[in-house]
Amino acid sequence: MGRMYQKMALCGGEGGSEWDDGVYEGVKKVYVGQDLSRITYVKFEYVKEDGEVVTREYGKTTQDAKEFVIEYPDEHITAVEGSHNKVALIATEVITSLVFKTSKGRTSPTFGPNLFGVVNGTKFNFEDEGKKIVGFHGRSDKAVDALGVYLELDSLTTPFPIYKLEAQGGKEGSVWDDGCFDGVRKVRVGQDDCRITYLEFEYVKGARFETRHHGVKGETQSEFVVNFINEHITLVEATYDNPKLFRNTVITSLKFETSTGRTAIFGYEVGKKFVLGQNGGRLLGFHGKEGEAIDALGAYFEDIPVPTPPPVIGDSWGDYGIYDGVKKIKIGLYEEGIAFVKFVYIKGNGLVTGDDHGKITSLGAEEIVLENGEYLTGIEGYYRPIPRAPFGKTVSIKFKTNKRETPLYGLDSGEKYSFEEKGHKITAFHGRATTDVIYSIEAVSRPI
């Protein structure tokens, strides 16, 4: 059964290089260094699944780093508070203070420059009802520019988390953990006649590619390329067995499936089968065990939120037809914009009357008649965006001709729009409307 994690977004500035420690069983120690204006250094001591302790450090220490010890495994970090601000000679914001809180109610000293306990800058807080912090990510160079955390979740109902599926396969070998990335770009697999002996992953992290490899690299490997960012791995199937002449249970076959329906199969399907991934999630990274071959394999996935469909507002309308120009415009308003439009078009030597769009209110309607030799060259006005809709709500319109401009009909506020093409004239209109209100008006033009 996999455990679920939530990656909380970075707080701080945009300088430095990005780093990501992924998730662990817990945090044993935190070291923090500072100068007179900022946090310059952090070091985390993590505990892996097999009990091994690993350290990760970032920034540049300029004074003796101060230590905060967590009584692992009986105690864990539940909150990180801090601040970020601009400091002298630094173009972007950096972390200026940090405080760690634990499940036993203990609070670390305030790390970072502070006068009488007062810190400057924008405050931030990573905390969620006592959930355990199991990893950090951030940005750093000569200081700590930004910081974020991984929370271990109690429930599978938290929306769009990262979840870690436990490594399955053999019990021997050394534990490895690549952590989480934006996705996987390439997989290289080495095999002998009964085992998967080598794995190499090319991960995507922002604009960079990072490679991780595990097992024993043989003379040849097979490669599977993922068309990132338009494609991602959604499922990994594998088998494991204890081949003859070998002591350990190891991975014997691998199958990768992608969001576009492509598959790649490696090794020999012998032994017990397991699956990593569910519900079309996106693969972010791998972890497992290794020795002379790949002993076990697990993975990190994230759920991909189903896009909310755009709201359906009104129906599309259009005075479709090949016209030579516009002769009359009838426009009606209401308190929030345009309620009604109707156009009379020129076609050859005759006139064609378009349909009514919207509804005339108690404010009435006004008619604009173009003179002989006069034609529309452009429109402009204001609109207001509609959340998640591919169009805005037109709240006003002004018509331009080769001889004049009309007044602005509607509201003089919102986002401005305009349509005018040199050497062209407007010959028709279309848009969206309900039976009572005009939502959008768009023009069709052709060369004069």
pLDDT tens-place string over residues 363-403: 999 999 999 999 999 999 998 887 766 667 889 999 999 99
* Mean pLDDT, all residues of the chain: 90
Highest mean pLDDT among 76-80, 179-183, 204-208: 76-80
Q: Which of 92, 127, 152 is the last residue of a domain?
A: 152
Q: Are the beta carbons of 147 and 269 closer than 8 angstroms?
A: no
Residue 213 parent element (H or E): strand 208-215
Residue 34 or residue 319, greater confidence: 34
Q: How many residues does the chain have?
A: 448
By DSSP bridging, strand 53-59 and strand 39-47 are antiparallel
- Bridge partners of 94, per DSSP, are 85
**Is a pLDDT exceeding 90 seen at residue 222?**
yes
| 308: in domain | no
**Residue 184 sits in the same domain as residue 231:** yes
Per-residue pLDDT at 2: 59
Q: What is the pLDDT of residue 384?
A: 86
pLDDT tens digits, 235-261: 999 999 999 888 899 999 999 999 999
Q: What is the pLDDT of residue 1?
A: 45
Q: Given pLDDT bands bounded at 50, 70 and 90, which one contains residue 90? A: confident
Taking the C-alpha atoms of residue 354 and residue 266, their distance in angstroms, rounded to an integer, is 65
> E-strand spans in 291-395?
294-302, 315-318, 325-334, 337-347, 350-353, 357-358, 365-369, 376-385, 392-394
Report yes or no on 400 lying in a domain.
yes
Domain that holds residue 295: 162-302
What CATH number did the domain enclosing 177 receive? Answer: 2.100.10.30
107 and 170 both lie in a single domain: no
Q: Which of 273, 302, 331 is the last residue of a domain?
A: 302
Name which residue leads in pLDDT, 425 or 309: 425
| Opening angle at CA 154, ends 151 and 157, nearest 5 | 100
CB atoms within 10 A of CB 327: 22
Give residue 156's pLDDT band: very low, low, confident or very high (50, 70, 90): very low
pTM more than 0.85: no
User: How many other C-beta atoms can be found within 10 angstroms of the C-beta atom of residue 55?
Assistant: 11
Residue 307 covered by a domain: no
What tokens appear for 57 in the block?
């450090």
pLDDT digits (tens, 9 = 90+) for 406-421: 999 999 988 899 999 8
User: Do residues 10 and 142 both lie within one domain?
Assistant: yes
The token duo for 420 is 């005018």
Which domain-ending residue is among 92, 120, 152?
A: 152
Cis, peptide link before residue 311, omega less than 30° from 0? no
Share of the chain above pLDDT 70, in %: 94
Q: Is residue 309 part of a domain?
A: no
**123 and 227 belong to one structural domain:** no
Q: What is the pLDDT of residue 46?
A: 97
pLDDT per residue as tens digits for the range 24-57: 999 999 999 999 899 999 999 999 988 999 999 9
